[in-house]
Structure 1
């Protein structure tokens, strides 16, 4: 079997796996994650703005949680979160919030490699 075909299958199947992980995190872990920041003004304001429980609303609410958990020093320095709020979030929950999106970044790079491999190197570069 050709290596490109195997790579294509892995990237194609990986798309659904990554999407499934992201949807699982958004629909099962988001509310629990937001409960640890229930007194936080920024999280509450963000939750009020994106209050409908549709996919795009959960996506934006999860985006704020990922920003807070992936760059906590910036949010601490700006005074938007406290160390107690960050320390209260269990490590397993942080992993469920961050890893699907980190895997999505790796998948995006793998998809770019597949595109270049399939179409060839663009001539404008």
Structure 2
């Protein structure tokens, strides 16, 4: 088999794995994450706006929490979240929240490499 074909299969399999991982976190870990931000105005307003339980609503609610966890110093300076709220979240739950995004960045980089390689 050609190495490009193997890389192609891996890139598209990784896309499916990333989608499944994202769905899993959105449907099993989101409520636990939101419970730690029950007094936070930004998260409560976001949950009120995206309150239905459709996939897009859960995605955007998860996206906000992911931003708060990925760049905590920026959001603490802006007053969106406090250090105490972030410190209360267990490390394992933070990792579950951040893994789909980190995996997505790696997948996007590999997709860029694939597209350059395809044109070459």
Alignment TM-score > 0.5, same fold: yes
RMSD: 0.8
Unmatched tracts of structure 2, length 5 or more: none
2:115 aligns with 115
1:37-91 CA distance string (max 9 Å, x none):
0000110000000001111111110110011001111111111211110000000
TM-score, normalised to structure 1, is 0.93
Partner SS for 1:39? coil
* 4+ residue runs over 3 A deviation: none
TM-score, normalised to structure 2, is 0.96
TM-aligned CA deviation for residue 119 of structure 1: 2.3
For the residues of structure 2 that align with 1:38 and 1:63, how far apart are their CA atoms? 16
Unmatched tracts of structure 1, length 5 or more: 121-125
> Bigger radius of gyration, 1 or 2?
1
